[in-house]
Amino acid sequence: MSPSAETNGTIPSRKLDVLIVGAGFGGLYQLYVMRKQGYNCKLSLIMLPRIWYWNCYPGARVDSHAPLYGYSIEGLYKDWTWTERFPGGEELRQYFDYVDKRLDLSKDIELNTSVDAAEFDTNASVWRVTLSTGEVIECKYFVLGTGFAAKNYVPDFKGMERFKGIMHHTYLKGKKVAVIGTGASGVQTIQEIGPEVGHLTVLQRTPNLCIPMRQRKLDPVVEAELKNQGEYEKIFKTRGGTFTGFEFEWIYINAADATEAEVRETYERLWEMGGFNFWVGTYQDVLYNQEVNDGAYKFWAEKHRARINDPRKRDLLAPLLENQPHAWGIKRPCLEQRYYEVYNQENVDLISVKENPIDTFTEKGILMSDGQELEFDVILLATGFDTQTGGLVQIDIKGADGITLKDKWAKGAWTNLGMTTNGFPNMFILYGLQGKPYIPLTPLSFVVVIDAITAPTAFANGPTLVEVQGDWISDAINYCEKNNKKTMDSTALSEARWTKIVDDMWNTSLFRFTQGWYNGSNIPGKTKQALNYTGGVNKYMAEARRIAEAGYEGYVFD
Ligand code: N01
């Protein structure tokens, strides 16, 4: 049992109903919704909406299209017009400023503050949360809106401390640059900087199976007309009820039952539409039936191979089916704009680190296993995140039995609905797993770490999911308050049930072959498990609502 504040000397300076950690889409929504219902809340964050504040690497942009990457509440969309179908980082920062002004959020936000630790006091049934300022705040409900990718992953490359190159991307013009990693961060950066750097070397381990973004400018007159016709309203109503949280859906027939010509025609159409249509808007069996998946992969490879001039680069970037890196769509495809053409430039080299691994970093650059030392002015690490669990366990959170979240999840994460975890009463997780707000403020001195974000975390449009989860959390809190409950906690049994649901869905799909952040296998030593619910936002929320309507089945109250 945790000691009380009186016995451990942590006297809280403020008492709140709800403390929310993280000021991205999730945290801000939770603040808005709780405050509207009269709760006394604060949100603690590191600077501005963290993701879109820090992610200012060249080319950073969202891959959910407008207006879906935005809030549906308070008619916010009426006075905000996106300029591009897939908005860039700068425009997103402006959007957060607009939302802040409209909803008057800042007054309840602690700037430049991170949450270092939290401990549940079982005697008083409250959380005591320690901020980076040293202040201790007492709250009844503790909401973690830290997002799924709050902890960078930097591989343990040998000799990294030796590299003497520069570290800031604004000085890239004319420089010799290396990019390690070709996930979404790498792809966005490469296509942006390729045309302006002196020389670019991409060190690729696994090719990203990118699909076309089909970016375009949005015409304000057309968008105004769509708003007037109620189209925006319709989109926001639809999105909570679809698999992906977008306005589009899977094609609910099997490609296996269609003719070859029909499938081809469908693929061509989806390809031209751009965005995630070719991924989560295609035939429902594509992620389940290996033969259908092979067909989608072949189509994908044919499209991109035609864009790459050099045969070696072509085979590395878009291998033929017999050499495919993994099944189509089981790792996140990045939306690209001119990614493949960049490799046709004379100043761009591509090295497969599977064929020629990195041996060590040197003062001048990187020594490859074949003995060649590559010299660089700048090395950009786009090597990803310790996703979903990493950002949560880096905060020292102690539950009712004094056990830390890190220890509880040491051999794998357990949650109910991805929003609660047994032994941590009145603590809710938003947009984390099965759904640390901290980027080091003193970055590595020799490399730039590129990171970005995004519950059904990985397979859902973020703003859609945070609104439906945020409402569920707020309903649960209201239920406790109306029924005079001091605590709400999920049972160990409910977690076992939920984890089995998540695992079973995962194991019947081709996702079971994934290597990457979807199942934690990108982080050495991390337990490999399905970290994402693959049943879709609609099914997920139906189950969450059923549990609530059954009097919070699987939960115990005190
Ligand atoms: O990270 P990643 P990310 N040696 O894990 C490679 C969201 N996001 O930051 O595939 C060499 O996908 C690794 O190789 P491999 C989005 O949901 C959204 O790019 O493991 N390479 C891979 O290529 C995304 O999915 C946007 O073989 C090494 C790369 O590093 C998620 O965030 C923008 C290596 C890591 O890719 C994460 O994307 C950006 C090593 N030792 C991100 N270790 C938007 O558009 C790792 N790699 C909004």
Helix (H, G, I), strand (E, B) or coil at 202: strand
Residue 53: the pLDDT is: 56
DSSP per-residue string spanning 70-93: S--GGGGGGG---SBSS-BHHHHH
Q: Please list the pLDDT of the chain residue by residue as tens digits (558 residues).
A: 444 554 455 688 899 999 999 888 999 999 999 999 999 998 876 433 455 555 567 788 998 999 999 999 999 999 999 999 999 989 999 999 999 999 999 999 988 788 999 999 999 999 999 998 899 999 999 999 987 777 778 888 999 888 887 655 556 889 999 999 999 999 999 999 999 999 999 999 999 999 999 999 999 999 999 999 999 999 999 998 898 899 999 999 999 999 999 999 999 999 999 999 999 999 999 999 999 999 999 999 999 999 999 999 999 999 999 999 999 999 999 999 999 999 999 999 999 999 999 999 999 999 999 999 999 999 998 998 888 888 899 899 999 999 999 999 999 999 999 999 999 999 999 987 764 222 222 222 234 444 333 236 567 888 999 999 999 999 999 999 999 999 999 999 999 999 999 999 999 999 999 888 888 888 899 999 888 888 888 999 999 999 999 999 999 999
- The response to whether residue 186 sits with its C-beta less than 6 Å from ligand 1 reads yes
Tally of residues, the chain: 558
Supply the residue whose CA is at minimum distance from atom 34 of ligand 1: 383
- The response to whether residue 34 sits with its C-beta less than 6 Å from ligand 1 reads no
Q: What angle do CA 242, 253, 66 make, to 5 degrees?
A: 35
> How far is it, in rounded angstroms, from Cα 198 to Cα 191?
14
- The response to whether residue 152 sits with its C-beta less than 6 Å from ligand 1 reads no
- Interacting residues of 500 by C-beta distance below 8 A, sequence separation 6+: none
Residue 122: other Cβ atoms inside 10 A = 18
Amino acid letter for position 207: P
User: Which two tokens mark 134?
Assistant: 């040293």
Amino acid letter for position 45: L
Q: Which of 91, 453, 513 to mutate to test the pocket of ligand 1 (most atoms within 8 A of CB)?
A: 453
Whole-number Å distance, alpha carbon 191 to ligand 1 midpoint, is 15
- The response to whether residue 522 sits with its C-beta less than 6 Å from ligand 1 reads yes
First to last CA, the chain: 16
- The response to whether residue 188 sits with its C-beta less than 6 Å from ligand 1 reads yes
Q: Which of 25, 54, 182 to mutate to test the pocket of ligand 1 (most atoms within 8 A of CB)?
A: 182
Q: Give the pTM.
A: 0.90
Query: From the alpha carbon of 515, which atom of ligand 1 is closest?
Result: 20
Whole-number Å distance, alpha carbon 61 to ligand 1 midpoint, is 15
Whole-number Å distance, alpha carbon 186 to ligand 1 midpoint, is 7
- Write the ipTM: 0.96
> How far is it, in rounded angstroms, from Cα 489 to Cα 405?
14
Residue 10: the pLDDT is: 66
283 near 255, Cβ under 8 Å? Answer: yes
344 near 143, Cβ under 8 Å? Answer: no
Residue 44: the pLDDT is: 72
- The response to whether residue 21 sits with its C-beta less than 6 Å from ligand 1 reads no
- The response to whether residue 465 sits with its C-beta less than 6 Å from ligand 1 reads no
- The response to whether residue 179 sits with its C-beta less than 6 Å from ligand 1 reads no
- The response to whether residue 185 sits with its C-beta less than 6 Å from ligand 1 reads yes
Whole-number Å distance, alpha carbon 183 to ligand 1 midpoint, is 3
Residue 56: the pLDDT is: 64
Supply the residue whose CA is at minimum distance from atom 48 of ligand 1: 62
Query: From the alpha carbon of 332, which atom of ligand 1 is closest?
Result: 25
Supply the residue whose CA is at minimum distance from atom 21 of ligand 1: 181
- The response to whether residue 326 sits with its C-beta less than 6 Å from ligand 1 reads no
- The response to whether residue 62 sits with its C-beta less than 6 Å from ligand 1 reads yes
Whole-number Å distance, alpha carbon 180 to ligand 1 midpoint, is 9
Whole-number Å distance, alpha carbon 9 to ligand 1 midpoint, is 43
137 near 12, Cβ under 8 Å? Answer: yes
- The response to whether residue 351 sits with its C-beta less than 6 Å from ligand 1 reads no
Whole-number Å distance, alpha carbon 330 to ligand 1 midpoint, is 14
Whole-number Å distance, alpha carbon 267 to ligand 1 midpoint, is 26
- The response to whether residue 517 sits with its C-beta less than 6 Å from ligand 1 reads yes
